[in-house]
Amino acid sequence: MPEKTSHKSDIEIAQESKMLPISHIAGLLGIDEEDWEPYGRYKAKLSLDLFQKLETKQEGTVVLVTSINPTPAGEGKSTVTVGLGQAFNRIGKQTIVALREPSLGPSMGIKGGAAGGGYSQVMPMEEINLHFTGDIHAITTANNALAALIDNHIHQGNALHIDPRKIVWKRALDMNDRALRRIVVGLGGPLQGVPREDGFDITVASEIMAIFCLAVSVKDLKSRLSKMVVAYDYSDSPVTAGDLGAEGALTLLLKDALMPNLVQTLENTPAIIHGGPFANIAHGCNSIIATKLASKLSDIVVTESGFGADLGAEKFLNIKARYGGIKPGAVVVVATVRALKMHGGVPKDELSVLDLPALKRGMPNLAKHLDTLKQFGVPAVVAVNRFVNDDQAEVDYILEWCKSEGVQAAEADVWADGGAGGEELARTVLNVMESEDNNYKPLYELDMPLDEKIKTICQRVYGAEDVQFSPKAIKQIEQFTSLGWGNLPVCMAKTQYSLSDDPKKLGRPEKFIVAIRELRASVGAGFIVALTGDVMTMPGLPKRPAAMDMDVTEEGKAAGLF
Amino acid sequence: MPEKTSHKSDIEIAQESKMLPISHIAGLLGIDEEDWEPYGRYKAKLSLDLFQKLETKQEGTVVLVTSINPTPAGEGKSTVTVGLGQAFNRIGKQTIVALREPSLGPSMGIKGGAAGGGYSQVMPMEEINLHFTGDIHAITTANNALAALIDNHIHQGNALHIDPRKIVWKRALDMNDRALRRIVVGLGGPLQGVPREDGFDITVASEIMAIFCLAVSVKDLKSRLSKMVVAYDYSDSPVTAGDLGAEGALTLLLKDALMPNLVQTLENTPAIIHGGPFANIAHGCNSIIATKLASKLSDIVVTESGFGADLGAEKFLNIKARYGGIKPGAVVVVATVRALKMHGGVPKDELSVLDLPALKRGMPNLAKHLDTLKQFGVPAVVAVNRFVNDDQAEVDYILEWCKSEGVQAAEADVWADGGAGGEELARTVLNVMESEDNNYKPLYELDMPLDEKIKTICQRVYGAEDVQFSPKAIKQIEQFTSLGWGNLPVCMAKTQYSLSDDPKKLGRPEKFIVAIRELRASVGAGFIVALTGDVMTMPGLPKRPAAMDMDVTEEGKAAGLF
């Protein structure tokens, strides 16, 4: 086990690091000066013209990082993604890390950025965690421009006969603000619009964010924006953004944001950070444009998806990869001693105590995720992400277990050691990609009926015995199918803590039935959301928000962010 | 009269122009590479460290551009500001144009940017009119972070005893959205916050925007943010952002935005565009930081203020110049044949018809503004901003009138001819600054009581006979004075179309009484707003919003914006 070289905080490590000018990083990737634009000294936006210029260049391999069902603190998936990218570069493979953009709102609530950790971070982490290059602000603006156009349409005569009780488009802010979850707008008399119930979602839950991440071009973006269903009219027919003539303006508002953002890791590995949709009501992956462009610019792209493999990897493999024409080379499943012990029944505050029997009891959770990836036909590697208090016997147990199961695995110590701590993992991934067959294909065909798609995911990915549809869901499946949306993929909204829809069922639950409460149509994004319970699309702030500690130092530096 | 050289649209002229790389513009101003950061190829943010580096450098002269009471279409103040800056550079005076940042929301409603026009525009105009460098988005975010902290504070136990009926802080969006004017938030039961009445303002109406433009440093910004009154408690004592501990987080959210934005005009004159508060409930000027920095970097700074001289120039001279320690060298009053004829009683659709008697009847409006500037002790120049349909006899009449009044004046043909069309004006301004005494001082001292300050402005600037305070206003003056806010300057919210508070009283109304309906305390910004009528702080969209025409062309260019 490598010695822990540091107990510095993320921001201390970040502020001590030496970034290269972004022109240097762009140069490393062979990008001409005309094909990127600087945003400050250490951020750049990449031109979409690069796709045409690189048309004949072979695409590099996409490696997806996912995890077992996580603890509330997370398994360090972003940290492993960054560290693995750094490791590949160290062993001579030109590699780009492709991550999601962090949402600013939540950082007002709970400390902790979303830019990796320790010696595996992307930089400049303060800016990435604050406004970055403004992409999320552009999405907020587009979301709310559409909302204003809807209410204005009704106020100005309602030629489309929109039923104000059936507006499904919500307003959005990149903020944790529970008071905006349920509101009434349009009060104050005939000059102030038409009163109706409404609500705000956090911006990353906006369908526009999902579209932003699934569009393959500006043209595709506009076409998807046009298809978004914003309301139903008095005859229950859907009204789209296109019906309102809004898609041109929304595309204009998003045009510059659609250019992927180039930054670097602590070890100067190029990183592209672009888009970041929710992993429950959306698919939880960075943009297709960023992933594809990264694959054109490097041998290997290391990217991640949200939550555990039952949600994130499933959606990556069934939705993103399908729409993007991406064939992943391998999937890395991040496991931690702590999370496996939790699945073995250990309470949260005792996870640091050596407990091999509990660890053993937790292994079926990992086993199920590996089984799922086998069904997708994609080679898998287990990464044991090392935490400071892990006992070597525990780490060894997981590695031995993998060996006995015929699954390749490696320890990752990237938090403490950066890329050096991920070299063994990187070599293992390369080895797996060379030695194992890759028969990746989505788990279902698009012409499968919606209820069958949902059953397929619940039974084959979650291990459920059956699925129970509420009367509302049954009606919606009929309605959506008759509207021609039956051939869309399904996006499951489920707890990330369990393979089942009950967050308390840890390990590998069996004989459970998944209850589908309700469906939502994200026709522009191109999926039907199936909700298994309440999904919070606008978080709240805690009793003592992290904002209380934020500040700017006398020297003008960010403080209290992480 | 110079021939009109073009009837091209603003966007056509802009897209045909040749911009220099922003590094070149920064170089022209002698700014070291370490003191600016690129945002794309043609925008940069300037470091506030420049103030220290340029501490011993003498400040250039600030020339303020204002106007008579405008027509609804405006008198081309921004166009004259840009054209005059270009003209100064043509005659050998190193000059920077300092403008306000356009708000994105209104451009969804009515076509027309805010970046000058014709051959006197700032560039890149599409980006400036869309998200620019994200400053307004940062202000929106800070505004709404504070709102979320207020509601969260109440939800989490309300230790400060905030009365939910007396929250004066509103949420904000950079959008024209009438449905958000009056809303109810916090609905849905005990987990969703505390229900209360609320509303959204357009972001430029946020007190944070006013503070952003009046702060002289990051430290001052934080101190002003801390003083903002957000609510009153159950004992009617004010509750501030500082009481909530929010000022550090808000400062962090605004830190990068506070760096002024460097761009260029069509003739490559440097332009600094930064901040843009409302000209009614706020002071309507670009940031002090931008104006001061521009004056450190050039011989002359040409800047503008909102609406006519009764509002914009008055606030520049009584509020901005006072807080910024700025001594303006001269004030240019933009007058147009059209507006003067309107003041002479000509209806809106007949303004293109030659009508010298009407023009003559309209002159007292100009005369009053010149009288006001005399009271401030600052030299004034009249600029007759040429429109395509103006008759030469009309232009000559105005110039003759000025001569007979002993006021220097020049024609400006900057829309059609750019800087060349403003050279005579530039020479006239230089001449006035050399030949006339400058005894600038604010119209009132800060220790004057609030009601006296209001009377001073109404009588000496508007020409009112008297002021009538509503019972509410009288009570508020007492309350604000007892809270220690009596020594703040006053910010008048009044119609821009008339010298009086009645938009229908054109020309130079007399014997009118200004009714003060209500006051608002912008303690962070550092002024007390006096409202003379309803002020719309959240505009609405028209029946056919301009957004309907917006698009991105096949080649990826902005379309339909202007």
Dump pLDDT digits (tens) for A10-47.
Answer: 878 887 889 999 999 999 999 999 999 999 999 999 99
- Taking an 8 Å cut-off on Cβ atoms, the answer to whether A184 and B187 are in contact is yes
* Residue (of A287, A262, A256, A259) closest to A19 by Cα position: A262
- Taking an 8 Å cut-off on Cβ atoms, the answer to whether A248 and B174 are in contact is no
Q: State pLDDT tens for residues A375-422.
A: 999 999 999 999 988 999 999 999 999 999 999 999 999 999 999 999
- Taking an 8 Å cut-off on Cβ atoms, the answer to whether A556 and B40 are in contact is no
Tell me whether residue A386 is one of the annotated catalytic residues. no
What span, in angstroms and rounded, lies between the C-alpha atoms of B499 and B492?
12
> What is the DSSP-derived secondary structure letter of residue B547?
G
The label of the residue with tokens 């009046």 reads B214
**Predicted confidence band at A95 (pLDDT cuts at 50, 70, 90)?**
very high
Closest chain A residue by Cα to residue B185: A183
Chain A residues within 8 A of B45 when measuring between CB atoms: 40
Q: State pLDDT tens for residues A74-92.
A: 889 999 999 999 999 999 9
- For domain B135-254, the question of CATH label 3.30.1150.10 is answered with no
Catalytic residue among A26, A45, A61, A77: A77
Facing residues of B330 across strands? B63
Q: Is the peptide bond before A72 cis (omega within 30 degrees of 0)?
A: no
> Could you please report the per-residue DSSP string of B195-231?
-EEE-EEEGGGSHHHHHHHH-SSHHHHHHHHHH-EEE
Task: Please state which CATH class domain A10-46+74-133+259-334+412-434 belongs to.
Answer: alpha beta
**Predicted confidence band at A105 (pLDDT cuts at 50, 70, 90)?**
confident
Q: Which residues of chain B have pLDDT under 50?
A: 1-6
Q: Mean of the pLDDT values across residues A357-378? A: 98
- Taking an 8 Å cut-off on Cβ atoms, the answer to whether B560 and A144 are in contact is no
Q: Tally C-beta pairs within 8 A across A and B.
A: 237
- Taking an 8 Å cut-off on Cβ atoms, the answer to whether B187 and A191 are in contact is no
Q: State pLDDT tens for residues B511-554.
A: 999 999 999 999 999 999 999 988 899 999 999 999 999 999 98
Tell me whether residue A265 is one of the annotated catalytic residues. no
CB A522 within 8 A of CB A493: no
Q: Mean of the pLDDT values across residues A164-169? A: 98
Closest chain B residue by Cα to residue A550: B249
* Residue (of A502, A519, A520) closest to A511 by Cα position: A502
* Residue (of B380, B379, B386, B381) closest to B420 by Cα position: B386
Element spanning A411, H or E: strand A408-412
Answer positive or negative: Cα dihedral of B451, B456, B457, B462: positive
Q: Which CATH number fits domain B450-531: 3.10.410.10, 3.40.50.1000, 3.30.930.10, 3.40.50.150?
A: 3.10.410.10
Q: State pLDDT tens for residues A260-305.
A: 999 999 999 999 999 999 999 999 999 999 999 999 999 999 999 9
Closest chain B residue by Cα to residue A540: B152
Tell me whether residue A380 is one of the annotated catalytic residues. no
Q: Residue B244 — left, alpha, or beta (φ > 0 → left; ψ -120 to 50 → alpha)?
A: alpha
- Taking an 8 Å cut-off on Cβ atoms, the answer to whether A560 and B248 are in contact is yes
- Taking an 8 Å cut-off on Cβ atoms, the answer to whether A108 and B249 are in contact is yes
What span, in angstroms and rounded, lies between the C-alpha atoms of B279 and B535?
11
A315 is in an annotated binding site: no
CA–CA min distance B495, chain A (Å): 19
CA–CA min distance B333, chain A (Å): 36
As annotated, the binding site of B for ATP includes 71-78
- What is the percentage of chain A residues whose pLDDT exceeds 90? 90
Tell me whether residue A387 is one of the annotated catalytic residues. yes
As annotated, the binding site of B includes 71-78
Q: How far apart are the first and last CA of chain B?
A: 27
Catalytic residue among B279, B282, B335, B416: B279
- Scanning B377-497, the segments in alpha helix (DSSP H) are 392-404, 414-417, 423-435, 450-456, 471-482
Q: Which pLDDT value is given to residue A5?
A: 47
Chain A interface disruption, residue of B182, B191, B549, most A CBs within 10 A = B182
CA–CA min distance B249, chain A (Å): 5
Instruction: Answer yes or no: is pLDDT of A3 > 50.
Output: no
Nearest to A181 among B188, B559, B560 (CB): B188
Cα→Cα distances B98→A338, B62, B95, B274, Å: 57, 10, 10, 8
pLDDT averaged over every residue in chain A: 95
Chain A interface disruption, residue of B111, B125, B141, B538, most A CBs within 10 A = B141
Tell me whether residue B279 is one of the annotated catalytic residues. yes
Instruction: Answer yes or no: is pLDDT of A252 > 80.
Output: yes
Q: Which pLDDT value is given to residue B7?
A: 67
**Predicted confidence band at A115 (pLDDT cuts at 50, 70, 90)?**
confident
pTM recorded for the entire structure:
0.96
A403 is in an annotated binding site: no
Catalytic residue among B45, B77, B222, B455: B77
Q: Which pLDDT value is given to residue A388?
A: 87
Closest chain A residue by Cα to residue B191: A178
A78 is in an annotated binding site: yes
Tell me whether residue A485 is one of the annotated catalytic residues. no
Q: Mean of the pLDDT values across residues A202-219? A: 97
Q: Which of A108-122, A528-542, B194-208 has the lowest mean pLDDT?
A: A108-122
Nearest to B182 among A155, A188, A548 (CB): A188
Q: Which of A189-193, A553-557, B108-112, B126-130 has the lowest mean pLDDT?
A: B108-112
Instruction: Answer yes or no: is pLDDT of A205 > 70.
Output: yes
Element spanning A221, H or E: helix A218-227
Structure tokens at B47: 């470091």
Residue A474: partners with Cβ closer than 8 Å, 6 or more residues away: none
Chain A residues within 8 A of B108 when measuring between CB atoms: 145, 148-149, 249
Chain B interface disruption, residue of A158, A192, A203, most B CBs within 10 A = A192
Q: Which pLDDT value is given to residue B14?
A: 80
CB B179 within 8 A of CB A151: yes
Q: Which pLDDT value is given to residue A163?
A: 98
- Taking an 8 Å cut-off on Cβ atoms, the answer to whether B179 and A156 are in contact is no
Give the residue extent of every domain in chain A: 10-46+74-133+259-334+412-434, 135-254, 450-531
Tell me whether residue B79 is one of the annotated catalytic residues. yes
